[in-house]
Amino acid sequence: MKIPALPFTVTDWDAVAPTLHPGESGQAIWRTFNIGDLRVRHVEYSAGYLADHWCDRGHVLYVLEGELDTELRDGRTFKLKPGMSYQVSDHGDAAHRSSTATGAKLFIVD
């Protein structure tokens, strides 16, 4: 991930328009800031959310609230709680998808 040239920028996430992304179950609400190929997001998953796809995009993901279950395509699973993060590269061997029983708020850079 390379941060493209941009001026010092402050983001008021409450002022960023939300977009709704249905999962296989539940929904995700994204607030997104894009600059070049860089995407910075504040994401909220509803209780019972299950992603509707396997993702192979690289991310740095940080859990702000709730619990997030991350499943890798190879069968490994990880439970992340507030204050935990994961880092994964683009198109590696770690295709992943997210779910949460309780709901979660995340900060994601990709």
pLDDT tens for residues 21-35? 999 999 999 999 998
Q: Set out the domains of the chain in order of their start, with CATH numbers.
A: 18-109 (2.60.120.10)
Alpha carbons 100 and 24: distance in angstroms, whole number: 12
Q: Phi first, then psi: give them for residue 24, nearest 5 degrees.
A: -60, -35
CB 88 within 8 A of CB 78: no
For the chain, the farthest-separated pair of C-alpha atoms sits apart, in whole angstroms, at 42
pLDDT tens for residues 44-71? 999 999 999 999 989 999 999 999 999 9
pLDDT tens for residues 67-82? 999 999 999 999 999 9
3-state secondary structure of 13: helix
Q: What is the pTM of this model?
A: 0.92
Strand pairing report for 18-22 and 77-80: unpaired
Alpha carbons 46 and 29: distance in angstroms, whole number: 8
